[in-house]
Amino acid sequence: MSHNRGTILVTGATGGLGCAIASRIASSREFGAYHGIFTVRDTKTATALHAALKSAKQTPMSSHLHEDIKISLDLSRLDRVREAAAHINGLVEAGSIPPLAAIILNAGYEEFGEQTWTDDGLDTSFVVNYLGHWLLTLLILRSMDREKGRIVWISSWAQNPEDRRNVMNRSFRDDKYKTMVDTDLEPLAKGTWSPNKNGESIWKAGYRRYGASKVCGVAMIHELQKRLDQDPRLSKISVLAIDPAAMATGIVRHTSWLVRVLVFRIFAGVLAPFLVRIHPNGTWRTPQKSARDVLAVALDNGPPPLSERPKGLYFNGSELGDYSSEAKDLSKGQVIWEGSVRFSQLKENETILQI
C-alpha cells in the first residue's frame, strides 16, 4: 500500500462529530497512509481535538504515519477562509502534503436564541454552514486529487421541510417557510428569511435558518457537480452529502438546559449507543457511527451505492436518503450559485473552476 494515499481535510474538527472523524483517521489502520488537515476555530482552544488525536494514536490499531496539521479557521470570516485556503494550497504546491483526497465540510452552527450576523452583515448560520465552506471549496479545488477527490457536505434533516420530524416539530408549518430559495439568495444570506421575531418561537426561526443553510450545501451535489463535470481537469471529482442524524454533541450549545442536558446529553448520550444497534440509520446515532459513515462516503469505493466515483448522492448514514426538493431543483441551484459568487465576492482568478 502507498504510504501517501492523499490528504483528508475536516472542518470543525474539535466538535463532537469532527473529533470522532479525526479520531477514526488517527486510530484506524485503513487511514494510516492519509495525511490529516484539521481546521478548528482556534487551534489554541481546540483541546478536545488535541486530546482525541493523542488518545487515538495510542490505540494498538493506530498506524498513522504522518504528522497532523491543525489550522485555525473561523468560517464566519471570509478573509480567514481565503487565508486558510492559501495556506492549504501552499502546502500542496510545495509537496509538503499530497493532494486532497477528501474535503469534509463538517463545521456547523445553529442559533436557538439570538440571531447574529457576521462582520460582512450576513447571517451567521448561512456563512458558517454554507458560504464559508463553499468559498473554501472553490479556493482549494486546485489542490484536490483530480482522479479520486471527493467533497462531502455534512447535512441535516433540518434541510427538508417534508421530513417527518419537521412535520412533527411544525417548524415549517406556515406556507411562507415551505420555500427557502426563491429567485434571489439575498433573504437567506442576510437572514431576512425566517428572522427572529417577537411572538414567534425563536427556536424555530433559528432552526429554519440552519435548515436553509444546509439546503444550499446539499444543492451543490448537483450544481457544483454539474460545473465540475464540464471541466475536463475536474470532472472526476465527486460532490456528495450525508446526514449524520441527531448526536449528543455541542451543536445544541445555544439551546435551553432542558434540550441541551436532558435530551441531548442524558437521553441521546446514554441511549444512542443502544438505539443505533437496533436502527443504525435511525434518528439517534453516536458520533462514532456517523464518523464511520462520513469517512465511507468520503473514501470508500463500494459496496453500492458507493463506487469509484459516486456522484450526486445524498446519504442518510450508511444508506441513501431523501432530501429537499429545492436542493434537487437545478434552477434553484443556479440561484444559490450566483448568490454565492456575489456574497463571497469570489473573483475569477481565485478558483480554477469557471464561475
Ligand X SMILES: NC(=O)c1ccc[n+]([C@@H]2O[C@H](COP(=O)([O-])OP(=O)(O)OC[C@H]3O[C@@H](n4cnc5c(N)ncnc54)[C@H](OP(=O)(O)O)[C@@H]3O)[C@@H](O)[C@H]2O)c1
Footprint of ligand X on this chain (CB under 6 A)? Answer: 12, 14-18, 41, 73-76, 106-109, 128, 154, 156, 244-247, 249-251
Helix axes of 287-299 and 16-27: crossing angle, nearest 10 degrees: 60
Please list, in sequence order, all residues whose beta carbon lies within 8 angstroms of the beta carbon of residue 98, skipping any fewer than 6 positions away: 4, 5, 6, 7, 35, 92, 145
Please list, in sequence order, all residues whose beta carbon lies within 8 angstroms of the beta carbon of residue 242, skipping any fewer than 6 positions away: 152, 153, 154, 155, 293, 294, 297, 314, 315, 316, 317
Do 128 and 216 meet the contact criterion of CB atoms below 8 Å apart? no
Residue 272 one-letter amino acid: A
Q: First CA to last CA across the chain, in angstroms?
A: 37
- Min. distance of Cβ 156 from ligand X in angstroms? 4
**How many whole angstroms from its chain centre is CA 46?**
18
CB closer to ligand X, 234 vs 314: 314
CA angle 291–294–298, rounded 5-degree value: 135
- Min. distance of Cβ 17 from ligand X in angstroms? 3
Do 53 and 59 meet the contact criterion of CB atoms below 8 Å apart? no
- Min. distance of Cβ 232 from ligand X in angstroms? 32
CB closer to ligand X, 131 vs 353: 131
DSSP state, 255? S
- Min. distance of Cβ 41 from ligand X in angstroms? 3
**Interatomic CA distance for residues 353 and 16, integer angstroms:** 32
- DSSP per-residue codes, 133-152: HHHHHHHHGGGB-TTT-EEE
CB closer to ligand X, 233 vs 253: 253
CB closer to ligand X, 18 vs 98: 18
- Min. distance of Cβ 68 from ligand X in angstroms? 16
Structure-block grid coordinates of residue 118: 457576521
Specify which residues 8 forms β-bridges with.
Answer: 36, 102
> Whose CB is nearest to ligand X?
15
The torsion of the CA quartet 90, 96, 102, 106, rounded to 10 degrees, works out to -70
CB closer to ligand X, 215 vs 234: 215
- Min. distance of Cβ 247 from ligand X in angstroms? 4
CB closer to ligand X, 137 vs 156: 156
CB closer to ligand X, 107 vs 346: 107
Give residue for cell 450576523.
117
Residues with active-site annotation: 210, 214
- Min. distance of Cβ 97 from ligand X in angstroms? 21
